[in-house]
Chain A
Amino acid sequence: MYYKSKPYKLFTGLNYTFLLVLSIICVIPLIHILAVSFSGKAAANANLVGLWPVQFTLDAYDKTLANENFLRALWVAVQRTVFGTALSMLIVVLAAYPLSKEKRQFKRRNLYTWFFVFTMLFNGGLIPFYMLIQELNMMNTIWVLILPGAVSVWNMILLLNFFRGVPKELEEAAFIDGAGHLRTLFSIYLPVSLPALATLSLFAMVGHWNSWFDGLIFMTDHKNYPLATFLQTIIVQQDFSKVTVRPEDLENISQRTVKAAQIFIGMAPILVVYPFLQRFFVKGIVLGAVKE
């Protein structure tokens, strides 16, 4: 066998080492930020922190969690993630079901499909969208974070492909028993599609949690910023004028360890759902990309 040959054994050794280094490179920045967040202020400012906390303290987390601006942004992020995901899933499920029907069963199917797919190919761009939101008076409302992204065409396509794999006999049996489409969807299709629904929900959640640009342009009042937008202003733009008023807050918020703690809290929910996500997403991606 090839793997018993000497050159291949040498290759294997090198390969394992290389992949190990590569994996470490992928997580090292996160470990560094975690280490900084648990370190003492002086050590962090003097760049003494590598991958392990120096002068261990929870001070940065105390300050972060005592910052009402941070907590308010966290709450907005939770709201948009929960409501946004729920609404988006409901709309996508309701739309994917009719689109998964054959033309024989649903004549206008192709018309609808193109109506949605066209929006993936062409869009009005940022400025007309911005003007529309202004016209609709949706600035500074939670709706602007939830409604425009609710119809995810990509999720719709993934789900309709999944629905097509559901055995037709199940549906026919339900029809004969007198179930309508809505009933068939909720009591036949959804229970057998749980893995696909879990994947799409997790993706929607991650998407909402990470979204920052909509908050930045549509929230003129910083009190309505979701966490990602708040972090963008504090950590990337380093613009403290918008989010704090008290000078004592300013000192706390610009401190390096506090920034690290904020970054870490910002990504913590993703790290929590990640193991669940990983179990499903490989299937989801492959479902969309390399169909038989």
Chain B
Amino acid sequence: MQTSQTSNVVAVPGKQKKPLKTRGNWKRMLALDAMLLPAVILTLIFAYIPMGGLVVAFQDFKPWLGFAKSEWVGLEHFQYLFSTPEYVQVIWNTLIIAAMKIIAGLIAPFTFALLLNEVRSSGFKRSVQTMVYLPHFLSWVILGGILLDMLSSDGLVNQALGALFGIDPIFFLGDGNWFRFVVVVSDVWKEFGFGAIVFLAALSGINPSLYEAAEVDGANRWQQTLSITIPAMIPITIVVGTLALGNVLNAGFDQIFNLYNALVMDKGDIIDTFVYRVGIVDGKFGFSTAVGLFKSIVGFVLIVAAYRLAYKLANYRIF
């Protein structure tokens, strides 16, 4: 150990200036390639090969005929999708539910972070955080099971509403409008705490001397919030908001699938659940792939646009 340390000290000065273009270096790069190999192979198989499978979207695909022999139908599936009112309704449902989630999912964590930031007792703050982050880690199977139980006509929620306000049981998961409401509220409930983490990080990065200066100038806390805290949160809010735009066709498959039923299909069915039913359950591979492709393309455009926008507006990059 001691000797190698000494040899380091001697070797360092000459080594640092040397250009990296040597044969040893070329070999070292091959080692780096080798380390990437498992990830590359798995990605090729499970991510890139299915992209090739998208040709099915332009075929009247029959499993027994395969890709090569199935009949080509061009854009027929897409025309069918956009000319059938029920299917267009599915796209609308997706957009409406996703948009409501995006807006509520931005306001709730923002407000929560602001309120939590006013808490001065760190013990209380930590306890609140522990409890509100928890639902994020539970799956929609678990939470769906709990909600089905609690929101049933004789469940805990209806009992409480009946006892407090004397109203008749509400059919939360059997009425389309209530269903959308439940989907958005339960999504906010599950994610607002976790979503607040980035806002809290931005809040803790505010320079305390700004508040001290405002204090000297006689600003009260509300004025400080308006002119220091909120402006400091604008960049991260723009980032979170624009990146959320990439999700405008992601209304949350796991959640909807575990909560919906035949009664709320007209207002609760979204693209992802539709693709599952038509494709995997009914076996119409061609048509459902086309619907999926439509979603993938729109999603791609939106995500790329969102990242560019986030980069332009707030100088945000992921890597």
Contact = CB atoms under 8 A, between A and B. Distances in A.
Nearest to B220: A2
A8 B120 CA distance: 12
B221 A121 contact: no
A22 B135 CA distance: 12
Interface string B114-131: 011011100010011111
Contacts of B317: 291
Interface string B196-207: 011001100100
B60 to A, nearest CB: 14
Interface string B28-61: 1101110110111011011111111110100000
B8 interface: yes
A256 to B, nearest CB: 8
Interface in A185-239: 185, 206, 209-213, 217, 228, 231-232, 235-236
Interface in B120-169: 120, 124, 127-135, 137-139, 141-150, 154-156, 159
A27 B189 CA distance: 10
A274 B39 CA distance: 29
Contact of A176 (B11, B50, B201): B11
A161 B319 CA distance: 7
A237 B166 CA distance: 31
Interface in A91-105: 91-92, 94-95, 97-99, 101, 104-105
Contact of B4 (A23, A29, A121, A177): A177
A86 interface: no
A291 B38 CA distance: 28
A142 to B, nearest CB: 15
B132 A26 contact: yes
B46 A129 contact: yes
B73 to A, nearest CB: 16
Given A95-B35, A173-B8, A213 B304 contact: no
A49 B120 CA distance: 37
B293 interface: yes
A270 B137 contact: yes
Interface string B2-31: 001001100110011000100000001101
B293 to A, nearest CB: 6
B interface secondary structure, majority: helix
A25 B197 contact: no
B89 interface: no
B151 to A, nearest CB: 10
A166 to B, nearest CB: 16
A53 to B, nearest CB: 14
A36 B152 CA distance: 15
B198 A290 contact: yes
Given A130-B279, A180-B31, A266-B141, A125 B159 contact: no
Contact of A25 (B49, B189, B258): B189
Contact of B31 (A126, A156, A182): A182
A290 B139 contact: no
B239 interface: yes
A228 B139 contact: yes
Nearest to A104: B20
A112 B36 contact: yes
A286 interface: yes
Residue in A113, A274, A290 whose Cβ sees the most chain B Cβ within 10 Å: A290
A23 B258 contact: no
Interface stretch (B78-86, B93-101, B176-184, B295-303): B295-303
Q: Shortest 9 CB-CB distances between A and B: which pairs?
A: A128-B53, A124-B50, A125-B292, A210-B139, A98-B32, A235-B145, A95-B39, A23-B131, A128-B50
Interface of B: 4, 7-8, 11-12, 15-16, 20, 28-29, 31-33, 35-36, 38-40, 42-43, 45-54, 56, 112, 115-116, 118-120, 124, 127-135, 137-139, 141-150, 154-156, 159, 189, 193-194, 197-198, 201-202, 205, 215, 220-221, 224, 236, 239, 253-254, 257-258, 272, 275-276, 279-280, 285, 288-289, 292-293, 295-296, 299-300, 303-304, 317-319
